[in-house]
Chains A and B, each alone.
Chain A
Amino acid sequence: MAVTTDTTAPRAKAAPAPRASGPAAARHRRKEALHWVAVHSLGVAAALFFVLPFVFLFLTSLMSDQQALTRDLWPRTWEWGNYAKVWHTPGFLLWWRNTLLYAGLGTLLTVVSSVPVAYALAKFRFRGRRLSLLLVISMMMLPPQVVVIPMYLFWAKQLDLSGTLWPLIIPMAFGDAFSIFLLRQFLLTIPDEYLDAARVDGCGEVRTLLRVVLPMAKPGIAAVALFQFFCAWNDYFGPQIYASDNPAAWTLSYGLESFKGAHHTNWNLTMAATVLVMAPVIVLFFFAQKAFVEGVTLTGVKG
């Protein structure tokens, strides 16, 4: 499937009205111009809806404690020190470390374990293939709450691992349904001829996967890795179940909510912390826009 992400390219360049004179041509040009203005005004209005929340959060994060409780929208004094205060809040750096561990290690394990499964589902013919795929999709749609009670009892009572992030990280080594599905959709787009050529040359399946498929699947793998990273970065339920008893194991998402609790009235510091949690996501997005948009498209527009 061709994933078109550039909205400007495929549209015919606004047909430059043939420089014909006459009232009809002028009317046409005027209509085009009006259309342009209407569309772009709507675009700006929509952009305000999407951007203003970020702007207000940021401005509030730079206010003094007192001003953040007023109706003011613009900081009277620019308190850049708020960010240092948040940064030096006990635990904040630990939350960063934990989040990076959970998201980083989790992503790595997910990719390593999901790629071979996705490859088998996309390229092997075997009995039960369709059923396996249906099960993968069903699991993808499954709320984590459905099995959380036995899982919690298993990790906490039998393995004594509550208060750590391991119950969240270890399962990632056994394939993640969403990642498998997304990778499978991507691998379907790689023509079988490449694989057959490799096999004719005497490559085993493992070699074919590593040498031929992986290099071609890089964009798909990048999309899966990013999704998985953000999924862990944003996860609130998992850390709430396993790490809530032990503040040393909190992640940013979980810690942030408690941060608001501990800093009851300090909206300025809370907003500064919020900005600090959002910032890495936004920075990473700017480096990896294409992989992201491709990933979203791949999940939605049939394979």
Chain B
Amino acid sequence: MTSPSSPLRAKRRRSALRTAAFMSPWLIGFAVFFAYPLMSTVYFSFTKYDGFRPPVLNGLDNWSYVFTDSPMFWPAMRNTLWLVVVMVSCRVVFGLGIGLLITKIKTGAGIFRTLFYLPYLAPPVAATLGFVFLLNPGTGPVNTGLEALGLPAPGWFTDPDWSKPALTALALWGVGDLMVIFMAALLDVPKEQYEAAELDGAGSWARFRHITLPNISPIILFAVVTGVIQAMQYYTQPLVAGKVAAGQIGGSGQQVEPGYPDKSTLTLPQLVYNLGFQRGDYGTACVLALVLFALSMAFTALLLRRRGGLIGTGD
């Protein structure tokens, strides 16, 4: 093509304007609600700032405080690592198991699917309150049942060793989203491959190992990576569980030590809230916000890394 004639150029300009018009809500939103505040977060992270007096630059003070002196940062990081390793893998394995089960159920599949899915919809605050009650060490139905069976009854949300397993139980209860994703992936596996394998005499484990798993591995990876991102953002459930198990009064103004019991339910997002909004140390809170940002973006990059991406940006 030689130099574009002027009607063509006009057409191009019109189409660029049209694109901009359609994209404008998000372009404005991106600038006002993301790009600008992100830059402010970076700036505040290098200042002493309480939200009232103007921010005063203090170099790397906040950063070195967070990484070396803060009594809360490393416990929060350790909790996050625990949640990423244990909670995410439990959720993926359990979600896959439930997904497999639902594809095998022949009678009443619709009812089973609905029952498995419903807890996923329960509002997190309500679900967490419910689980703190169900797992109440003294009188909760779960421990009553465990004792009746002669099993040890742990302290769950009141015991630092058991609070994260209790949160994991809550997360497994809400595994409905993964069930649906795995179910769709499992039903997409070509039937012919199973039939061929069966003719070759492959048992059910061999078929799962050599046909099912390779076919759904992109979806497993998707579930793992999004699970990791969710685990880093884990906020409402650990916060509410900690507060309610500690018997603390909700509402505003209460200065409470977060992460009850013994910082075992403390997560990074809670720390942002605690430092910024409860202690009025916005500068340090911004450091944590940026740590959270870096971690989330690293894992998002993983999701997008492959050509076409796990998440389907493919053109």
Contacts and interface: CB of A to CB of B under 8 A. Distances in A.
A252 interface: yes
A6 B114 CA distance: 11
B15 to A, nearest CB: 7
Interface SS of chain A: helix
Contacts of B244: 257, 260
Given A138-B300, A261-B251, A234 B139 contact: no
Interface in B186-210: 187-188, 191
A116 B282 contact: no
Interface stretch (B2-10, B17-25, B63-71, B156-164): B17-25
A205 B122 contact: no
Interface string A253-273: 110111111101001001100
A141 B184 contact: no
Contacts of A133: 313
B297 A147 contact: no
Given A138-B297, A148-B289, A300-B181, A274 B126 contact: yes
A154 B32 CA distance: 10
Contact-residue bracket for chain A: 35 or more
B272 A8 contact: no
Nearest to B301: A138
Contacts of B104: 39
A297 B40 CA distance: 36
B125 A236 contact: yes
A71 B247 CA distance: 19
A121 B292 CA distance: 28
B255 interface: no
A124 B23 CA distance: 11
A171 B36 CA distance: 14
Interface string B236-276: 10011001100111111000000000000000110011001
A174 B272 CA distance: 25
Interface string B108-121: 11101111111101
A116 B250 contact: no
B166 to A, nearest CB: 13
Contacts of B15: 124, 126
B82 interface: no
A36 interface: yes
B235 interface: yes
Given A73-B141, A149-B289, A154 B37 contact: yes
A277 B26 CA distance: 32
Nearest to A124: B19
B85 interface: no
Contact of A282 (B30, B37, B112, B118): B118
B32 A260 contact: no
Given A171-B29, A236-B236, A3 B129 contact: no
Interface string A38-57: 01101100110111011011
A296 B177 contact: yes
B98 A46 contact: yes
Given A46-B98, A278-B126, A148 B184 contact: no
A141 B299 contact: yes
A50 to B, nearest CB: 5
A8 B134 CA distance: 34
A53 B131 contact: yes
Contacts of B118: 50, 54, 282, 285
12 contacts: A50-B115, A117-B23, A138-B300, A139-B30, A142-B297, A145-B233, A148-B289, A185-B312, A257-B243, A271-B133, A285-B117, A300-B177
